[in-house]
Structure 1
Amino acid sequence: MYDFAIIGGGIVGLSTAMALGRRYPDAKIVLFEKESRWAFHQTGNNSGVIHSGVYYKPGSFKAKFCRDGCQSMVAFCREHDIPHEVCGKVIVATEEHELPLLENLYQRGLQNGIQVARISAEEVREIEPHVNCLAGVRVFSTGIADYKQVCQKYAELVRAQGGELYLNTKVERIVDLTNGKAVETNNGTFEAKLLVNCAGLHSDRVAKMGGVDPEAKIVPFRGEYYELTPEKRYLVKGLIYPVPNPAFPFLGVHFTRMIDGSVHAGPNAVLSLKREGYKKTDFDLKDFAEVMTYPGFWKLAAKHADEGIQEIIRSFSKAAFVRSLQRLIPEVQSEDLVPTHAGVRAQALMNDGKLVDDFLIVKGKNSIHVCNAPSPAATSSLEIGKAVTEQIAEQFSPATSPVQAV
């Protein structure tokens, strides 16, 4: 019997396996990933940003884990020679009504212990010469990294600790045992004293499979991106963000210089008709029906109808997408942009229509379930792994612990 079984080979699952292996070096650890490679879904399709934590409610898991994770992720990348850069970013107000919201962000950054500075439009243009704005906030600690390489290194370290990692292994059923869980997969049954669910887009389903109701459902939102053509990359030096709408939980279309030098523009945020739906044509009847019959979705849709319609328009109209980008950089033209990959955000939504706006970690019988870990989970992955490990240590007395810590 294993001490710990982890479901999910994204950045959170692999980080958790690594953290458990460090705390419990004699533990038998196994991790299952249904895809053929690590970081196949959210982690492998995100923007590559090392977030600072400037947006998140002071005192929340997101604020703390992201601020600390920003530092620990940079340190990890340095230690293991993973491509990264601490380039900072600018958040800019382009209209008068955004100026108080920009000031709120500045104050929140200070509350969260982040190095931020108010900057004038002229100072913004010293950093990003092609941006048009009224004022900005500079966030110094934001960076970029190659999270696929981070995941590969996590996997290497877990193996070096003695952990067993299985790709192409889908969890089909979870059965309660007297002293743990039996995890039935397409590659056989594995017994473990404690189960950790880091299944991302399917975390709510895995939780229910394991006998836990997270009281929230994953609703997938697709984020679509364009990429600047190589000859127009000079328009963006680093990371340029608009002031987000505080009532709508997404950051708005922005410009991101990736670690390979390319510049991505986006994303929008539209309902995906499939949990793993990276194309507009992707459709899964079960996934679609679950959302359409969930009261929380309709309450959310009613509350944010105007914003939702604008996101859909941007999805189907390149001209509308370009106009959103021109608010930041007026020089950008339609011919400067080509479509690139999309990502899907696993956003937990409660029955009353409220989005779960913090990381959600739910305890069950002989199990822990990470049921809401969208952005900034990649930045925060080392901190989430440590937090899950701490919760496991608190959940069990020395007499009932799966293994003893050192």
Structure 2
Amino acid sequence: MKYNVVVIGGGIVGLSTAYQLLKKKPGLKLALVEKETVICKHQTGNNSGVIHSGLYYKPGSLKAKNCINGYDMLLNFCKEEGVPYELCGKVVVATDDFQKPLLENLYNRGLENGLDQISKLSIEELKEIEPHVNGIAAIKVPYTGIIDYTAVAEKYAEKIRAFGGEIFLGEKVNDIKEINKISVIETNKQNLEADLVINCGGLYSDKLARKTSEDVDLKIIPFRGEYFKLKPEKEYLVKHLIYPVPDPNFPFLGVHFTRMINGGIEAGPNAVLAFRREGYKKSQIHLGELMESLMWPGFQKVAMKYWRTGFGEMYRSFSKAAFTKALQKLIPEIQENDLVDGGAGVRAQACDRTGGLLDDFAIFESEQAINVCNAPSPAATSSLSIGNTVSDLALKRI
């Protein structure tokens, strides 16, 4: 079957890209292929459901631009399509003196990114809105919200089908070849021909990109984030989303408390190396994929640089007491028996050869394809904006 565009990946970024393409060019012959039998089984379906404001990201970066633009696009889409969400707001809390200048930098970055409704909180003001939180300084971010991103993505899928696009589930892409300037996408069920391939393969985006270009010099390193949930009788301890001041050198936000749109409160996540790309449990190991991560020169440099942080994260993964202690920095009343096992997600974090964990989205073009090779958080919030960006690149080539 011949198509103008074949999108690989049925997560929220792949679906939003396909939707934006068909919205801009109705009648486009488009197919989306997903190896699982359902959409959004991996990053999209296992994240914490936060609508991010754009607070953390370097002004002018792809993350900042797409998060801020995508935020408004997402809220408008949800209003039009009746997808529930809540702008509950969040507080970012400093618990040690050394965090105060980092919090000040975060506040200024938020203002630079156009978040003029954020505000500094005194200790008294923090206690008024979050009486159980321990902190010596804080900022309030009223823009932040909660949502079910799988519900959003299912609406994208509805729109794709309504525009005449096709979605093939249970079809793993085994190879991509170029024959007479036409891309042939070989799946486990059929061959598809396309003028252009768009790779939104998430945890396998680097491997797919290498099938279309020899110039891919990055590796997806999978980091598992594990959560606990608060027992229902302890949910009164959390009113907003509650975050620590993040380490500016490490692309993770630290353990925090997240209210969920369908009820309940999650506590976490940590960030540990997953032993396979889709390793949601400690027991899930793929020796080949693990060795790929461990042998990648960039990861080895990251491990050398952040070994103390990595050891702490790994220790918390195996010690509920240590995990609880990290949470107690924010809410001292939390006890180990207040936590029950939650879920886990795996973040597809791109790492370059020189030891950098990519801090920005990475989208690059080859002769055959457009590859989205680093789209971790806030990609779900930014999905419509990323889809808009990628679809513009695609329409120039079709």
TM-score range, shorter chain: over 0.9
Corresponding residue number in structure 2 for 1:307 = 309
Task: Provide, for residues 254-304 of structure 1, a one-character-per-residue CA deviation record: whole Å limited to 9, x for no partner.
Answer: 000000121000000000000000001110011111012111111000011
Task: Provide, for residues 13-33 of structure 1, a one-character-per-residue CA deviation record: whole Å limited to 9, x for no partner.
Answer: 000000110111121000000
| 2:180 is aligned with 1:178 | yes
Corresponding residue number in structure 1 for 2:263 = 261
Corresponding residue number in structure 1 for 2:105 = 104
Q: Aligned partners of 1:146, 1:84: CA distance in 2, in Å?
A: 8
Q: Aligned partners of 1:70, 1:339: CA distance in 2, in Å?
A: 31
| 2:26 is aligned with 1:25 | yes
**Secondary structure at the counterpart of residue 300 of structure 2:** helix
1:121-140 correspondence to structure 2 within 5 Å: 121-140=123-142
Q: Aligned partners of 1:125, 1:275: CA distance in 2, in Å?
A: 41
Q: Aligned partners of 1:195, 1:246: CA distance in 2, in Å?
A: 35
Normalised TM-score (structure 2):
0.98
How far residue 103 of structure 1 moved from its aligned partner, in angstroms, is 0.3
Query: Which residue identity is paired with 2:63?
Result: K
Query: Which residue identity is paired with 1:349?
Result: C
The alignment of Structure 1 onto Structure 2 pairs a total of residues equal to 396
Query: Which residue identity is paired with 2:350?
Result: A
1:4-403 correspondence to structure 2 within 5 Å: 4-114=5-115, 115-394=117-396, 396=397, 402=398
**Secondary structure at the counterpart of residue 176 of structure 2:** strand
How far residue 252 of structure 1 moved from its aligned partner, in angstroms, is 0.2
How far residue 82 of structure 1 moved from its aligned partner, in angstroms, is 1.0
Query: Which has the larger displacement, 174-183 or 48-57?
Result: 174-183
Query: Which has the larger displacement, 212-221 or 104-113?
Result: 212-221
Task: Provide, for residues 52-106 of structure 1, a one-character-per-residue CA deviation record: whole Å limited to 9, x for no partner.
Answer: 0100011000011111112211221111111210111100101111100000000
**Secondary structure at the counterpart of residue 382 of structure 2:** helix
Q: Aligned partners of 2:330, 2:252: CA distance in 1, in Å?
A: 17
Q: Aligned partners of 2:127, 2:257: CA distance in 1, in Å?
A: 15
Query: Which residue identity is paired with 1:373?
Result: A
**Secondary structure at the counterpart of residue 131 of structure 1:** coil
**Secondary structure at the counterpart of residue 57 of structure 2:** coil
Normalised TM-score (structure 1):
0.96
Which runs of 4 or more aligned residues in structure 1 lie more than 3 Å from their structure 2 counterparts after TM superposition?
A: none
Query: Which residue identity is paired with 1:92?
Result: V
Query: Which residue identity is paired with 2:4?
Result: D
Residues 248 and 307, structure 1, Cα contact 8 Å, conserved in 2? no
Query: Which has the larger displacement, 338-347 or 174-183?
Result: 174-183
**Secondary structure at the counterpart of residue 220 of structure 2:** strand
Root mean square deviation, CA, Å: 0.9
Residues 8 and 199, structure 2, Cα contact 8 Å, conserved in 1? yes
Task: Provide, for residues 197-249 of structure 1, a one-character-per-residue CA deviation record: whole Å limited to 9, x for no partner.
Answer: 00000000000112343321000000000000011111111200000011211
Q: Aligned partners of 1:130, 1:58: CA distance in 2, in Å?
A: 33
Task: Provide, for residues 169-192 of structure 1, a one-character-per-residue CA deviation record: whole Å limited to 9, x for no partner.
Answer: 100111102232000001110000
Runs of 5+ consecutive residues of structure 2 not aligned to the other structure: none
Query: Which has the larger displacement, 199-208 or 72-81?
Result: 72-81
Q: Aligned partners of 2:305, 2:249: CA distance in 1, in Å?
A: 9
**Secondary structure at the counterpart of residue 2 of structure 1:** strand
Q: Aligned partners of 1:211, 1:172: CA distance in 2, in Å?
A: 15
Residues 212 and 368, structure 2, Cα contact 8 Å, conserved in 1? no
**Secondary structure at the counterpart of residue 132 of structure 1:** coil
Query: Which residue identity is paired with 2:171?
Result: T
Q: Aligned partners of 2:370, 2:79: CA distance in 1, in Å?
A: 31
Corresponding residue number in structure 2 for 1:399 = none
Residues 70 and 141, structure 1, Cα contact 8 Å, conserved in 2? no
Query: Which residue identity is paired with 1:95?
Result: D
Percent identity at matched positions?
A: 56
**Secondary structure at the counterpart of residue 129 of structure 1:** coil
